[in-house]
Amino acid sequence: MLGTRKGVWVLGVAGVIIANGDSELTVWLKARHVEERRLVLRVRDTALASVESREFVAQGIRNWIEQTEGDGELDLRSLGR
């Protein structure tokens, strides 16, 4: 679950593709009682290794939810280099 200015969202991973040290996660996002969106999230494997990095990823998802509408992509591969 992820709290945003647009409400609380439930996040679930629908699929993962790993290639060349990068992970591509297809994440579904569902707002309680309201809407459902799909996000393709690209991150380096190392970005998920520490609490601080995971918090950065969560903040990136939060910003994406708050600043966009509909489905889309978020590339956070610069984290973890």
What pTM does this model have? 0.80
Instruction: Kindly tell me if the per-residue pLDDT of 67 is higher than 90.
Output: yes
pLDDT tens sequence across 22-61: 666 666 666 565 678 888 888 877 777 788 888 988 999 9
- Output the six-digit token pair for 41: 């999230």
- Do the beta carbons of residue 51 and residue 61 sit within 8 Å? no
Where is mean pLDDT largest: 1-10, 18-27, 57-66? 57-66
3-state secondary structure 26-76: EEEEEECCCCEEEEEEEEEHHHHCCHHHHHHHHHHHHHHHHHCCCCEEEEC
- Do the beta carbons of residue 63 and residue 81 sit within 8 Å? no
Enumerate the domain spans of the chain.
2-75
